[in-house]
Amino acid sequence: MKQEWKRIDEGLWQCPYEFSAGVCRSILVQLDEKKFLVYSPGDQATADLAKSVIPEDSEIFLLAPNTFHNLGLVAWSESFPKAKPVAAAPAIARLQKKTGLQLENIEGLKGELPEHITLLELPHNKIGEVWLDIRGGSDRVWVVCDAIFNFSSLPGGVMGFFMKLNRMGPGIEMSRMYQYMGTSNKKKYGQWLMSEISEKKPTQFIPLHGEIYEKQDLTEKLQVLARRRLVK
């Protein structure tokens, strides 16, 4: 796996990193000329490599997208001492215990976002999952953490068996673990998700786990998934 920050679109980059259970990606979003948001800060290498993208003295927000994505918070905070670690309220206590850092509530971050970027806080959510909704012309990007995956194929061996058992793919899928442990009311969460999909009609889906998807049937696939796994 080659680690480098690759541009996805104007003001949007990705960089892969490894963790104990596989590969994830960090997302870097430019909010202003010298203001950046890091969605799921990755390992030390992702922080070091970001110095070639982020100008010196930039304001940086480190967004932990849920209670489990804490791997890179300390590394990024050491590399960028003025960066502000943030998370949704349900995730803060565990993240602070795991990292020793003081995290701010994402309410403060919301006021720093440009009009075309919105945080989607999942309702009925036990782990503080937050998504990014990024609009640009006729395009709409959703950046998603652990609630939905998109692995085109599953590996063999023990890991592949676990992923298959947990229903993590292949294709755009929702794991059993999140369906039953991540949400406190899966039907109401599903209704919210279907409403968001219908209203916002995302054109590009960027999961932290799996491949980016931007085909014309994206909205339909997400609606079918929400209906099948959550609402029925």
CATH (one of 3.20.20.120, 3.60.15.10, 3.40.50.970, 3.90.1300.10) for 1-109: 3.60.15.10
How high is the pLDDT of residue 3?
Answer: 95
Domain boundaries, the chain: 1-109, 115-232
> Is pLDDT above 90 for 177?
no
Mean pLDDT calculated for residue range 39-55? 97
Q: Are 222 and 172 in contact (CB under 8 A)?
A: yes
How high is the pLDDT of residue 158?
Answer: 77
Buried b (16+ CB within 10 A) or exposed e, 150-184: bbeeeeeeeeeeebeeeebbeebbbbeebbeebbe
φ/ψ of residue 125, rounded to 5 = -120, 130
Q: For 75-94, how does the pLDDT look when each residue is reduced to its tens digit (9 = 90+)?
A: 999 999 999 999 999 999 99
Q: What percent of the chain has pLDDT over 70?
A: 99
Could you give the dihedral angle defined by the CA atoms of residues 41, 90, 213 and 20, in that order, rounded to the nearest 10 degrees?
50
Q: What is the mean pLDDT of the chain?
A: 93
pLDDT category at 19 given cuts 50, 70, 90 is confident
pTM of the model: 0.94
How many C-beta atoms surround the C-beta of residue 117 within 10 A? 19
How high is the pLDDT of residue 82?
Answer: 96
Mean pLDDT calculated for residue range 55-68? 96
> Is pLDDT above 70 for 21?
no
